Amino acid sequence: MNEEELLGLRNFLRGAMAGDPGPGQHSHADVKPRFLDKLSKTRVLGISSGKGGVGKSSVTVNLAIALALDGFDVGVLDADVYGFSLPKMLGAVNDPIVLGDTVIPTLAHGVRCVSMGYFVADEQPVIWRGPMLHKAIEQLVTEAWWDEPDFLLIDMPPGTGDVALTLSEVLPRIEMYVVTTPQPAAQRVAQRSAYAARKLRLSVRGVIENMSWFTGNDGERYEIFGSGGGEQLARELGIALLGQVPLEALLREGGDVGAPIVVTHPSSESALAFRALAKTVAAQGPARVYRQELKLS
């Protein structure tokens, strides 16, 4: 592709991002991606947790693929800037294409992906203060060619820091889903994450319990991390427990090598749980609450 063709493609993408598929006369600063419009069909799902180690990224990847398998147009944004892992877990090994100031997401298993992991080396730490984080997240959201997918899943960093604040500003229609494990300690921390989302006037749509049990060779369920944490969290928040995902070695192994379990072992217990979860999330429909203002007091 020569320089003239590249310029034409860049102009087309800019115009299409702004809802004009013509040649486009927009400056990039004036472009507002279509999925950011409050009337857009896109549902933006924030997958959050109060702490690390609960399998939030694994849930994000497999839920995204499960939605894609159901025929939806799906993208995932790895907003866990300090602990990015989605490209490897998704198996999205090719770097995104960068055309000027537009990033074309990679594609794996029917899911488009953008992550900070594509722009820094695996071993390189990201040491940024709030303003730099804000700019990076804003660029990942607005300068990527998402078009107008049915679902855009955001893999949130653990906790309630600067990234969550930025996303609440850039994506005011984001719907939050809280991932926890059955143990009470994880449930209590996840509860704080949900309360923080509500403080930012975000819609908290449901709880997803991960690592709910392990099924042994004898067919018995073993609740390694206890039981009831997800149900208790949902009850205290006044929302639904949308799904419980069992613990399987295949789930962990697939995440390590970019072979998500919903693709490689579709009849496994965990894969079936993700497929059911995807149907539940899709059936919920979009949140109809849009914030008029943001108050942190």
Q: Output the CATH code of domain 42-284.
A: 3.40.50.300
- Which has more pLDDT, 27 or 45? 45
Residue length of the chain: 297
pLDDT for 220-276, tens place per residue? 999 999 999 999 999 999 999 999 999 999 999 999 999 999 999 999 999 999 999
Distances from the Cα of 200 to the Cαs of 155, 191, 192, in angstroms?
18, 14, 12
What is the chain's mean pLDDT, rounded? 84
Find the distance separating the first CA and the last CA of the chain, reported in whole Å. 53
Whole-number pLDDT of residue 36: 85
Asked if the model's pLDDT at residue 297 lies above 90, the reply is: no
Q: Which of 44-53, 88-97, 185-194, 253-262 ranks highest by mean pLDDT? A: 253-262
CB burial class (10 A; 0-12, 13-18, 19+) of residue 223? middle
Q: Are strands 203-210 and 240-245 parallel, antiparallel or unpaired?
A: parallel
CB contact burial 114-146 (16+ within 10 A = b; e otherwise) = bbbbbbeeeeeeeeeeeeebbebbeebbbbbbb
Q: Which of 7-21, 57-71, 150-164 ranks highest by mean pLDDT? A: 57-71
Taking the model in full, what pTM does it have?
0.86
Q: What is the full DSSP assignment across 38-64?
A: TT-SPEEEEEE-SSSSS-HHHHHHHHH
The DSSP bridge partners found for residue 104 are 97
Asked if the model's pLDDT at residue 180 lies above 70, the reply is: yes
Q: What percent of the chain has pLDDT over 90?
A: 51
Asked if the model's pLDDT at residue 17 lies above 70, the reply is: no
Q: What percent of the chain has pLDDT over 70?
A: 82
Residue 6's pLDDT band, with cuts at 50, 70 and 90, is very low
Q: Where are the domains of the chain?
A: 42-284
DSSP 251: H
- Which has more pLDDT, 31 or 1? 31
pLDDT for 91-110, tens place per residue? 988 888 888 888 899 999 99
Whole-number pLDDT of residue 107: 95
